[in-house]
Structure 1
Amino acid sequence: MEILPLQSFEAIKLVQMLADKSMTNSYKIFWLRGIIDSAIEGKTVVNIEDNVIKMISEAWYPVTQYKLSLGKLDKIEEIIGEVLKRDPGAAIRNKDDLADTIKSFGAADFRSKINRLARYVTFRLLTPFYAEQLRGLSDHDKNRKIQELSQGDQDALYRISSKGTSLYINDRWATFIQKNRQVISGWSDHVLINYLQRRNPNVPAIPLKIFPPMKRDLSKAKRFWGLVQENVELMDIYTKRPMTSQHTLELGEISIDHFVPWSFVQHDLVWNLIPTFKRINSMKSNHVPNLNKYLDDFCIVQYKAVNCMINTGMHKYLEDYYTVDQKMVEMLTRRSNFEKKDFIAALKRTIEPQVQIATNQGFLEWEYIDD
C-alpha cells in the first residue's frame, strides 16, 4: 500500500489503520471513509449507527450497480441484500437517500445485523494506537480495553463513549483531515480500489466503480451508426427485424445498446455498441446477452460497420477497434486484406471472456421473447 505523501504522526497512523495484513473484509475501509466524511463536513460527534449506515451507503454502488464482491466473509453485501429484499426499489435509489430507507426498517433481526457490524470495527480500527497495551489480551477483552484507553486519549483518531453509542473525533485529527482533505480522500479511494481489485481480479475499470454511474456520452456512437445506416441495411440482432420506420413505430426509435453491459465495461467504445430499438434496449437493461443467440449476429453487424467505414474512407471512426487486441490492430493496419473470419474471431476473443466474468459476478443473462 502506498503511504500518504505526508510525513506526520497522523499520516503514519492512517496507513497503519488500513494495513493490508489487518484487513480481511471491507469494514475498516468503509468505516474510516465515513469518519473522514464526517470530519470534512465539520462534524466531531458521530453516532455509531449512523456511521454503519454510511458504510452501507459507501458500498452501495460497487455492490448493486457494478456487482463487485467485497469478500467471502464480508457481511455488508448480506445487509445490502436484506435492504433490497425489504425495498426492491432501493436498487435504483441515490445512495444519499438510503439512510432514511434503512432507518425505516424497524425489524429486530435487521437492526441486530446493523449493530453487529459496529461491534468489531469501531474498536479495532484504533488498534495501531494501542499495540503495546493490547499485547497478550484475549480477543474478547480487546474491545473493552480499546474503549477504555480511547476515552482519555487526545491523540487517537476518536474517543468511544462509555455507552458505546457515539464517538468523538479528536481535535488534532479533525484539523488534520480538514487541512488535507483532498490528499486523504484520494488516498482513501486508492486503498478502496486496491482492496476491490484484489477481490475482483478479472473485472475491468475498478477505479470507476467506487463512484455513482456517470452520464454516458454516446454522441460519437450515434454518428458512427448513423453513417453505417446510410450505406448498409441493418437488422436488429435481438428481434431479427429490419430497422425501418415501420418497426420504429412499434418498438421505439433507434437506440444504442452496450452489448456487454456498460456497468461492467465502463466504456462507450464502438466495438461493444450496437443499434437496437429503444424498447428492446430498455428490456435488456444491464443484463448480458445470450451469446449462443446473439454473438454471431453481433459480430456480423460489427464487420459490416467496419467494412463500411473502410470502403467510404471514414478511417477516423475505426480508432476504437484498435483497443480490441493486437490482431485487430494488424487487420486494420492492412485494410486491403481485411478478412471477415479474422475480424469476427478477434471480437469474440474479447467479448466471450468478458461476458463469462460478468456472469460470474452476478449479471443476469437475457434474451428477447416476442410477446
Structure 2
Amino acid sequence: MHINNNVQHELNKDTHIEEKGIILNSNEIILYNLPSSSNVYTKIFARLLEDSRVVASYKMYWLLGILEEVNLGNIEITFKRLVARMLTAAWYPTLQYKLYFGQFDNLVKSINYISSIYCVPTNINNNELLEFICSLDDNILNKQMKDLTNNVPYMLLTPFFDDKIKGTSSSKRVRKIIELSLSESGVLYKIIKDSNNIVMDEDWAIYMKSNYKVIKSWIYYKLSCFLQKRNPNVPAIIFKLDPPISRSLSKSTRIWTSIIADRNVKDIYTGREFSRENYDELGVLSIDHFIPWSFVMHDEMWNLVPTFKNINSSKSDKLLRYENYIDDFCDIQYEAFSFMCDTNRKKDLEPYVDILRLENPLDFYKYKGKEGFSEKLKTSIAPIYQIAVNQGFSVIDKL
C-alpha cells in the first residue's frame, strides 16, 4: 500500500526543523537536533528510544525499518518485511565488524543461520539481502522471525499509552496496546494483528519521510551508544553500522612501490621477494591491513604492509598469529619509517608520529633506531591486536 496523493504532496513540504545539522549517514557525522512539528507530538517520538526502554537492539532496528519503508512511500507494512529489514541492517555490524549485541539479542542467531545455511556472502548488497530474506520460506527462519516480533511492535508504542497501560499485567499488555493503537488518534501506527502488519498514521508518515535523514541519524546515534556499551574497547562504532564505502589505497601503493624499489623488503607472509616472477605467480602488488580494516576502520600506514594479490585475498579479514609475524611486521614497518625519514616525507610520517607518540620523528630515528622503533610499535599494536581477537576475528598460523 502506498501513501495517497494528498499525503504524498505533503511529504514534499518541509516540516519546521530546529537543527544544528544532520548525520547524512554513519560515515558523515554532524551534530543535530530532532525536528519539531505542529502535526505530531515529537516529544513522545523522542522517548521511543530512551535508554531506560532499551534492553536489546530490536527497537532501534524496528524503527529504522519503518523509516526506510515510509521513505519509499509505504504506510502498510508487514511484520516479516520489517524483521527482514532488521536482519539486513544488522548484517554488516554482525558479520563484517563482529560487534556484540548482548545476551538478550537474537538478531545475531537469525543472521548466522541465514549466512551458514544459505552460504550468503558477508559483503552482499543490502537490497539483494533484503529481497532474499523476504523470499525465503524456511520454517526454522520463519519461527525465529516470528519470535522477534513477540514484543517489539507493541513495546515501541508504550510511550503513547504510558498512563493507560500502567498497572496492566504483562500477560494482558500486548492485547491492550493493540486495542489502543486501533482506537487512539495520533499513534505512530496501528497494529493489525490478524494480518501481522502495521498501518502508519499519515501525519507520522509525513513527518518521518520529510525528516528522513535527521531521524535516521538519531536512530544511528542511539544504536551506536547501545553498541558502544557492549563493545567498550572497539573503535569507530558509528562507522560500523553501514556497509563499508569504497576506499582507495593508491597513495599507499605508490609509497610502498617506492620503498620496495629502494629497500630490500620481502613479503612478510610468504618470505618472497617482490619480483616479476613472483608477481606472475602470486598476483600483483596488493596492500594489506595487518590488523583487519573491518576492525580498525582506517588506512593508516603503520598498519599497512605490501603483499601479493592472491595472498591478500587468502588472508581476507583474518589475523595472523601474533608471535609468528610481529617481528617481520615491525621490520618492514621500520623500512617504511626509515625511508620516509631519509627522504624527509614529513606528511607521510604523521601516522607514525600519532601511533608512536613521537615529538620529533627524525630525532627518534637518529637516536633510537630500529630497536626503539620496534619496541614502541609492539607496545602500540599489541593491545589493538588482542581486542580484535577478543572481538571474534579469526587467527590463523600462516598463509
Match of 1:123 in 2: 154
Does the 8 Å CA contact 1:321/1:329 hold for their aligned counterparts?
no
How many pairs were matched up? 367
Does the 8 Å CA contact 2:35/2:211 hold for their aligned counterparts?
no
> Aligned partner of 2:203: which letter?
R
Secondary structure of 2:247's partner? Answer: coil
* Superposed structure 1 runs of 4+ greater than 3 Å apart: 2-10, 328-336
Match of 2:386 in 1: 356
Secondary structure of 1:257's partner? Answer: strand
Match of 1:365 in 2: 395
Give the deviation of 1:49 after TM superposition.
1.1
The structure 2 residue matched to 1:341, chosen from 371, 377, 389, is 371
Tell me: CA distance 1:47–1:253, structure 2 relative to 1, closer, same or farther (3 Å). Answer: same
Distance 1:93 1:69 in 2: 20
Where does structure 1 lack aligned partners over 5 or more consecutive residues?
A: none
Tell me: CA distance 1:3–1:262, structure 2 relative to 1, closer, same or farther (3 Å). Answer: closer
In the alignment, does 2:131 pair up with 1:97? no
Does the 8 Å CA contact 1:150/1:156 hold for their aligned counterparts?
yes
Distance 1:86 1:105 in 2: 12
> Aligned partner of 2:164: which letter?
Q
Match of 2:91 in 1: 60
Distance 1:179 1:95 in 2: 23
Give the deviation of 1:335 after TM superposition.
4.3
Distance 1:11 1:73 in 2: 29
Tell me: CA distance 1:54–1:128, structure 2 relative to 1, closer, same or farther (3 Å). Answer: same
> Aligned partner of 1:344: which letter?
S
Match of 1:284 in 2: 315
Secondary structure of 2:100's partner? Answer: coil
Distance 1:201 1:231 in 2: 42
1:31-73 Cα shifts (integer Å, max 9, x gaps): 0001111222211111111101111011011111111111111
Give the deviation of 1:107 after TM superposition.
3.1
Match of 1:69 in 2: 100
Give the deviation of 1:306 after TM superposition.
0.9
Match of 2:35 in 1: 6
TM-score (norm 2): 0.88
Does the 8 Å CA contact 2:91/2:111 hold for their aligned counterparts?
yes
Does the 8 Å CA contact 2:93/2:241 hold for their aligned counterparts?
yes
More helix by share: 1
Give the deviation of 1:334 after TM superposition.
4.6
Tell me: CA distance 1:315–1:135, structure 2 relative to 1, closer, same or farther (3 Å). Answer: same
Give the deviation of 1:109 after TM superposition.
2.5
The structure 2 residue matched to 1:234, chosen from 259, 265, 271, is 265
Does the 8 Å CA contact 1:68/1:200 hold for their aligned counterparts?
yes
Tell me: CA distance 1:19–1:316, structure 2 relative to 1, closer, same or farther (3 Å). Answer: same
The structure 2 residue matched to 1:137, chosen from 152, 168, 173, is 168
Secondary structure of 1:149's partner? Answer: helix
Match of 2:297 in 1: 266
Match of 2:210 in 1: 179
The structure 1 residue matched to 2:145, chosen from 94, 107, 114, is 114
Give the deviation of 1:324 after TM superposition.
0.5
Distance 1:10 1:223 in 2: 55
Does the 8 Å CA contact 1:4/1:15 hold for their aligned counterparts?
no
> Aligned partner of 1:6: which letter?
P
The structure 2 residue matched to 1:298, chosen from 307, 310, 329, is 329
Distance 2:225 2:268 in 1: 38
Give the deviation of 1:329 after TM superposition.
4.1
Of 140-149 and 155-164, deviating more is 155-164
Give the deviation of 1:316 after TM superposition.
2.5
Of 357-366 and 27-36, deviating more is 357-366
Does the 8 Å CA contact 1:263/1:286 hold for their aligned counterparts?
yes
Give the deviation of 1:354 after TM superposition.
1.4
Where does structure 2 lack aligned partners over 5 or more consecutive residues?
A: 1-30
Tell me: CA distance 1:206–1:175, structure 2 relative to 1, closer, same or farther (3 Å). Answer: same
Distance 2:336 2:326 in 1: 15
1:106-150 Cα shifts (integer Å, max 9, x gaps): 332221111110110000000000111111111111100000000
Q: Identity over the aligned pairs, expressed in percent?
A: 36
Match of 2:344 in 1: 313
